[in-house]
Copies of this chain bind each other. A is one copy, B any other.
Amino acid sequence: MKIGILGGGQLARMLALAGYPLGLDFVVLEPAPDACAAPLAGHIQAAYDDPAALEQLAELVDRVTYEFESVPASAVEQLGESLPVYPPANALATARDRHHEKTLFNELGIETAPFAEVHDLAGLKQGVAQLGLPAILKTRTLGYDGKGQQLIHPGDELEAAWQAVGQVPCILEGLVNFDREVSIIAVRSVSGEMAFYPLAENVHRDGILRLSTCLHEDSHQPLAEDYARRMLEHLGYVGVLAIEFFQVGEHLLANEMAPRVHNSGHWTIEGAHTSQFENHLRAVLDLPLGSTQPLGHAAMVNLIGDLPDTKALLGLENVHLHLYGKAPRPDRKIGHVTVREASVDELQARLSNIDNVLQ
């Protein structure tokens, strides 16, 4: 069985690493010549919307998945004519546009921060009048890792913010004074089996995820699973779906969802019985899902920018290194480490050790 992946970055790379033991082979479609999944997969080097390349991919593989949500709709449509493409197109369409996404959250009874649609400067003024400030102006499409976002404080020039995001369709979102950021990794197979990983608590800095810690029996787990189940069932979803929440007291406000394996689920490689990557593939292939139970107390620290002192990291017991084969560059995710310890205290101590190495 051969799997095609749109995108050849670290998520495709980790899907391939999880998939070979299942007896799978992989082909990635990715325009970059030095794609980090390319050394361990077939590589069609072309644009994602190149019809000839998509045709070539469809001939080589048995089904297709993707590692990013801004996949061109035309690509999914063309591929879908000849083979299964998972997650389904409606999930992509929803996740690609923040307004559709938040509207659907609310329609399904999933709370979000208050938001308003913004088409122009007049709409932005109206949104501010409605939600108050501070608020965040976010482009409806193509934002990630804090890109395409502008925080507006009371007294700020609205026109400057509107220029800063590039005068494109946006939503304005009321700033939430949250207790924590958490995410759930959910998975649903072709035949409808579902599984949910324990919530992860996430720490971002400068809009980029730095740390995800697996939570054990968190009181918000049932609500997060309920919300994720509603979305999976509504979309007839297949594969891994990640939903990020702001936790405010007993409430979970959905911030965004990603119809793919997700950075806040990387801890599952060593920290759960079955990784999110393996379960994504099991789901897409309609195989039984693997256990999502945690193994010890786990956390994941992203390696961002420079290559760390890998010898020092590997000298720390219970630390697992995951480099992506990417050249260092400021703010670029070039790898992560997973820590798995027997107790929360040992986990916290080890995370301090890692911080010391990374400083």
Chain B residue nearest to A14 (CB atoms) is B21
Question: What residues of B have a CB within 8 angstroms of the CB of A324 in the complex?
Answer: 23
* Residues A290 and B314 in contact, CB atoms below 8 Å apart: yes
Q: Does A222 contact B (CB under 8 A)?
A: no
Q: Considering the complex, which residues of chain A in the window 13-28 have a beta carbon less than 8 Å from any beta carbon of chain B?
A: 13, 16-17, 20-23, 25-26
Q: Does A288 contact B (CB under 8 A)?
A: yes
Q: Give the residue of B23, B290, B295, B310 whose beta carbon is less than 8 angstroms from that of A335.
A: B23
Q: Considering the complex, which residues of chain A in the window 257-307 have a beta carbon less than 8 Å from any beta carbon of chain B?
A: 273, 282, 287-288, 290-291, 295
The listed residue with most B CB atoms (<10 A of its CB), out of A20, A22, A321, is: A20
| Mask: chain A, 1-44; 1 = CB below 8 Å from B; 0 = not | 00000000000010011001111011000000000000111100
Q: How many residues of A contact B (CB 8 A)?
A: 34
Report how far A282 CA is from B320 CA in the complex, Å: 12
Question: What residues of B have a CB within 8 angstroms of the CB of A273 in the complex?
Answer: 317-318, 340
Question: What residues of B have a CB within 8 angstroms of the CB of A23 in the complex?
Answer: 310, 321, 323-325, 335
On A, residues with C-beta under 8 Å from B are 13, 16-17, 20-23, 25-26, 39-42, 273, 282, 287-288, 290-291, 295, 310-311, 314-315, 317-318, 320-325, 335, 340
